[in-house]
Structure 1
Amino acid sequence: MNKAITSFLKAAILIMGLIVALLCIFLLPELAGDAAAEYPEFAYLKWPVLLGMYAAAIPFYIALYESWNLLRYIEGQTAFSDFSVQSLRRIRNCGIALGLIYAAGIIGVGAAGALHPGVFLMGAAIAFCSFVISVFAAVLKELLRSALTMKNENELTI
C-alpha cells in the first residue's frame, strides 16, 4: 500500500483519538452537569451515564491502537501474518464490547424513564455501527486467515 495512504489513515486515527479525548475531558462533564441542572429528577443518572461513556472509550481506544498496528504491518510488508489476524480479532471484540455498552446504556436509561428519543437514536446508531464494524472485522479476519493458509500451503509446495 502506498506510504501516503497509510500516513493519511494514521493521521485519521490520531485525529479520531484526539477528538474523543477532548469530548471526554471537556464536553461530556459539562453536558452532564447541564442536563442534571435542567432535569433535577434525573440528576442521579449523571455519574452512571458519564461512567458508561468513559467505559465505552476504552474499547474505542483499543480498537484505534489495533488499527494503528494493522497500518504498521501494512507498511512493513507483513500484512499477511498472524499478527494481523490477532489485531482484527481484537477490533472485532472491541466493536462488540462498544455496541454492548451502548445497548446496556440505552436499556438502563430507558428503564429509568429518562430516554429522550434523540438520545435513543444516537445511542442506537453508535451501537449498530459498532456491531457492523465488528462483523466487517470478523469477515476480514476470516479472509486473511484463508489467505494465510493458502500462502503457507504454497510455500510448502515450492
Structure 2
Amino acid sequence: MDRGSTLFLKAAIFLIGVPVLAVCIFGFSRLHPDSPYWALPELENLQYPILIGMYLAMIPFFIALVQTLKLLTYIDKNEAFSELAVKALRNIKYCAIAISIMYVLEMPFLYLLTKVDDAPGILIGLVVIFASMVVAVFAAVLQRLLQDAVRIKAENDLIV
C-alpha cells in the first residue's frame, strides 16, 4: 500500500480528534454546572451525570484514535499482518463497545433533558450508540480476518 493513502488516513484521524478535543475544552461550556442554562430546577440534577458521561465517553474515543494511528503505522512498516495489528483492532473494538455502554447508561439522563429542554438528546444518543456498535462490529470482523491471516502467514513461514 502506498504511503499517501495512510498519510491521508492519519490526517483524517487528526481532523476528527482536534474538533472533539475542542468540544471537550470549549464546547461543553453550555453544559458547565455554573452556566445559567442549569438554573432551571428541572435541570439542576441532570448537569453532573450528563457532563460526567460525556467526558468519560471521550476517554475510549481518544484511545481508539491512538490505536487507529498505531494500526496505520504498522501498515506503513509492512507489519499489517502481525499480532500487534490484531491487538490494535481488538482495542478499537473494546473502545467502541465502551462508548456504546456509556451512552446507553447516559440515555435516561438525555431523555430527561429532552423532556425539559426539547433538545434532540435521545436522537443524538442513539446515533452515537449505533455508530459505535457499527465500528465495534467492523473492528471485530477485521480482527477475526487479520487473526486468520496471521495464523496462515505463520504456518507458511514454517513451511519455507
User: What TM-score do you get using the length of structure 2 for normalisation?
Assistant: 0.90
Q: Which residue of 1 aligns with 2:142?
A: 140
Map 1:1-158; keep pairs closer than 5 Å: 1-32=1-32, 33=35, 35-37=37-39, 39-110=40-111, 113-115=112-114, 116=118, 118-158=120-160
Count residues in correspondence: 155
Following superposition, the deviation at residue 35 of structure 1 comes to 3.5
* Structure with greater helix share of residues: 1
Following superposition, the deviation at residue 79 of structure 1 comes to 0.6
Larger displacement relative to structure 2 (85-94 or 101-110): 101-110
Following superposition, the deviation at residue 75 of structure 1 comes to 0.4
**SS of match in other structure, 2:14:** helix
Q: Output the CA distance in 2 between the equivalents of 1:125 and 1:15.
A: 20
Q: Output the CA distance in 2 between the equivalents of 1:9 and 1:40.
A: 46
Q: What is the root-mean-square deviation in Å for CA atoms of aligned residues?
A: 1.5
CA contact (8 A) 1:29 1:50 kept: no
Q: Output the CA distance in 2 between the equivalents of 1:157 and 1:81.
A: 18
CA contact (8 A) 1:35 1:43 kept: no
Percent identity (aligned): 41
Specify the code of the residue in structure 1 equivalent to 2:126.
Answer: A
User: What TM-score do you get using the length of structure 1 for normalisation?
Assistant: 0.91
Q: Output the CA distance in 1 between the equivalents of 2:8 and 2:72.
A: 10
User: What are the ranges of 5 or more consecutive residues in structure 2 without an aligned counterpart?
Assistant: none
Q: Which runs of 4+ in 1 moved over 6 A?
A: none
CA contact (8 A) 2:110 2:122 kept: no
